[in-house]
Chain A
Amino acid sequence: MPDPGPVQPSRRHFAQWILGGGFLASVVSFLYPVLRYLVPPMLPDLGGDEVVAARAGELKANTFKIFRFGSRAGILVHTGQGEYRAMSATCTHLSCTVQYRGDLGQIWCACHNGMYDLNGRNISGPPPRPLEAYQVHTRGEEIVVSRKREA
C-alpha cells in the first residue's frame, strides 16, 4: 500500500468512528427489545378491593383461615372473644405466610418466629413492619373483607 500521507489517518479515523459507532448503535437497538422483554408485565391486581373471606359459622372461635385477596393471601382470625380480624398474611420479614396461634392469641410466622398482635402490629422477632390490616364486616351470611380506605 502506498504511504497514506498525513491527511489519510484522520479520514480513516472518521470512517472507523462512523462505522464502529453505527455498529454499536445497532447492537444497542437489538439488545433493547430483549431487555424490555425480560421485564415481566405488571398484572392488574384482579379481585378488587373486597372479597368474601368466609361464611358465618364456618370458623370456630379461636381459629383462623387463609383466604385469597387478589393475588395475595390474607388471614381471617376468629378471636376467642368472638370477633373477626383480617389482615395481610404475608410476613413483612421475608414473605412467608403467617398463621394464628390460638394458644398465644397472636399471629405467628413459622419461618423466623415473628410475632404480630391481632391488629397486625409486629411485636417480637424479626418482622420490620406491621401487617396491613383489613376491614371486616358481615353481609348476611357472608364475612366480607375489604381494604381500608384512606380517610
Chain B
Amino acid sequence: MFKLIRNWLDERFGWDELMAPLRHKKVPLHKFSAWYFLGGITLFLFGIQVVTGILLLLYYRPSANEAFESVQYVTTRVQFGWLIRSIHSWSANLMIFTAFAHMFSVAFLRAYRKPRELTWVSGMLLLFLVLGFGFSGYLLPWNTLAFFATKVGTEITGQVPLIGRHMLVFLRGGEEVTGATLTRFFGFHVALLPGITTALLLLHIALIQRFGMSAPPSVEAAWAADPTKKREMSFFPNFLLRELMAWYIALGVLGALAAISPWGLGAKADPFAVAPAGIKPEWYFLFMFQTLKMIPAKVWVIDGEVLGVLIFGLAGLLWLLLPFFDREGRRGARWALGATIFATAYVVAMTVYGHVAK
C-alpha cells in the first residue's frame, strides 16, 4: 500500500529525487553531538504552541471586558481546557529556555562560522520573535500581573531616544495600556508574529539543510589530522528517529509539568488598582529588568533607563553580528569565546540575582 502511494508520487514529482538530500545528509558524531537536539526540540515546542494556540482561539475573546472571563471559562468549564492552556504556557517557557540553550550551545561550539553566518542571524531574529511571542502572549489573559508587566515593558520601550515615544504609542494603541493594547497584542500574537516566524523558520531550516551540521573546530581539526577518526550518522532515518524520541520525551515532560503544576490565572486586571508588591517580569526578561534596576537614576547627564536601553540595544546588535567578528585566526576565536562566556555568565547570573532579589 505504502509502496503504491510512493510509486505514484515518485512517477509524478520525482519523490526519491526530492528526498535524496535527506538521505545524503550526515550528522557528525562526537562528544558534543547531544547539543544538536536542542534546535529540533525548540521546533517541536513551537509546533505544540501552534496547535494549542489554535485550540485556545476556539474560546478566547480578545477584549478587555471578556478576555479574563473567557480564559477563566476555558480553565474551569471547558473539558481539559486547563490542560490545553497549561501546556501552552509551559511549552512557551520551555521553548524560550531551549531556544536560549540552543543559541548558547551554537555560540560555544562556534557553529556560526563561515558559511553559516546567516543561519546564526536568522536564528537570533527568531529568538527575538520568540521573546515577542512571550511578551504579547503574557498580556492576553488580562490579569493584574500581565497588565503591569505590559505597562512597565512598553514604558521601557518608550525610553529609546527619538523613536521611543512613537514605539510606545504604536505598541499600546494609545498613550495608556487599555483594551486597545489587548486587541493589538492579540493581533501581534496570533497573526503578525506567526507569519514572520514561519517565513524565517523556513529560511533557517533551509540554510541548515544547505550547509549541513557543523562540527566544532576542535573536532574538525582532529578529523583533519586523522581522517580515520571521522564518525558520522545518517540524518535519515537514524538521527531523525533519535530526534523523534527526544520530542516524545519532551512531550512527556510537558504533559507532566502541565498536569502537576497547572498555570494559574490570577486576578482580573484593574487599571485603577495599585501595583502588587514584588512585581517582576517573566524569568526570560529578568536579566534585563535586574540590570535596569541597578543602574542609578542619573548617570552623568543621561537618564539611567535610557542608558540601560542603549546598552542592551548595542549588546544585542553586537551579539547578532557575532559571526562577523569571529574571523579566521586565533585572536578572533579567542575574542568570540570570551564574549560567549561573558554573555552566558551575565545572563545566568543576572537571572538568578533577579529571581532572588527583593
Q: A33-B84, A34-B55 are in contact. Are A39 and B79 (CB under 8 A)?
A: yes
B80-93 near A? 1/0 per residue, CB < 8 Å: 11011000000000
Among B77, B79, B81, B251, residue most surrounded by chain A Cβ atoms (within 10 Å): B79
Number of interface residues of B (CB under 8 A): 11
Per-residue CB contact flags for chain B residues 196-230 toward chain A (1 = under 8 Å, else 0) read 00000000000000000000000000000000000
With beta carbons under 8 angstroms apart, the residue of A33, A40, A41 that contacts B83 is A33
Complex Cα–Cα for A110 and B38 (A): 61
CA of A37 to CA of B80 in the docked complex: distance in angstroms? 6
Is A33 a contact partner of B77 (Cβ separation < 8 A)? Answer: no
Mask: chain A, 33-68; 1 = CB below 8 Å from B; 0 = not: 110111111000000000000000000000000000
Q: Is the interface of A mostly helix, strand, loop or mixed?
A: helix
Is B78 interfacial (CB-CB < 8 Å)?
yes
How long is the Cα–Cα vector from A5 to B80 in the complex, in angstroms?
49
Q: How far is the CB of A25 from chain B (nearest CB, A)?
A: 13
| Chain A residues bordering chain B, tally (CB within 8 A) | 9
Q: How far is the CA of A33 from the CA of B251 in the complex (A)?
A: 14
Encode contact with A along B23-58: 1 for CB under 8 Å, 0 otherwise.
Answer: 000000000000000000000000000000001001
CA distance A33 to B55 in the complex (A): 11
Q: Would B58 and A38 count as touching, CB distance under 8 A? A: yes
B-chain residues with CB within 8 Å of residue A40 when the two chains form the complex: 78
B74 to A, closest residue via Cβ: A37
> CB distance B80 to A33 under 8 Å?
yes
B272 shortest CB reach to chain A, Å = 30
Q: A33 CA to B84 CA in the complex, in Å?
A: 8
A36: B residues at CB distance < 8 A: 79-80
Binding site for A on B (CB under 8 A): 55, 58, 77-81, 83-84, 251, 255
List 18 additional contacts besides A30-B251, A38-B58, A41-B79; criterion CB under 8 Å. A30-B255, A33-B79, A33-B83, A33-B84, A34-B55, A36-B79, A37-B55, A37-B58, A37-B78, A37-B80, A37-B81, A37-B83, A37-B84, A38-B55, A39-B79, A40-B78, A41-B77, A41-B78
List 26 interface pairs A-B (beta carbons < 8 Å), by A numbering: A30-B251, A30-B255, A33-B79, A33-B80, A33-B83, A33-B84, A34-B55, A34-B80, A34-B84, A36-B79, A36-B80, A37-B55, A37-B58, A37-B78, A37-B79, A37-B80, A37-B81, A37-B83, A37-B84, A38-B55, A38-B58, A39-B79, A40-B78, A41-B77, A41-B78, A41-B79
